[in-house]
Amino acid sequence: MTDLNQFYHDLPEPNRACFLAIRKIALDYSYDLDERWKYKLPFFYYQNKPFCYIWKDKKTTFPYITFVRSQNINRPELELGSRKQMKALTINPNEDIDVELIHKIMSDSFTFFK
């Protein structure tokens, strides 16, 4: 089993299902995205450039998607926090995932890579 697959396998529920759903949403959105194991977390690359990654909050353990080069995207759902160039979308693993919102943010993010 690869480190990436082991990462998903070792997650407790409901985070495992949520992480796997986020993974599928990202990979289904664009065939130009590929998933890699970088910095000990799932990272998604667009045309060999870092695009986004998924991780979990230390306090709540809720998953979040952090989008590279997203500092100029104005969406209230995105949090800049202490980051300078990346904003994150927190996802409650106990609720339905807003796929449409993730797709809109991904679309906005793609504009910074062209």
Residue 79 confidence (pLDDT) above 90: yes
Does domain 3-113 sit in CATH 3.40.1620.10? Answer: no
Mean pLDDT, residues 72-79: 92
Give 15-19's long-range contacts (Cβ < 8 A, gap of 24+): 15/56, 15/61, 15/63, 15/93, 17/93, 18/63, 18/91, 18/93, 18/97, 19/54, 19/63
pLDDT(95) > 90: yes
| pLDDT at position 76 over 90 | yes
Confidence of residue 21 (pLDDT cuts 50, 70, 90): very high
User: What predicted TM-score, i.e. pTM, was given to this entire model?
Assistant: 0.92
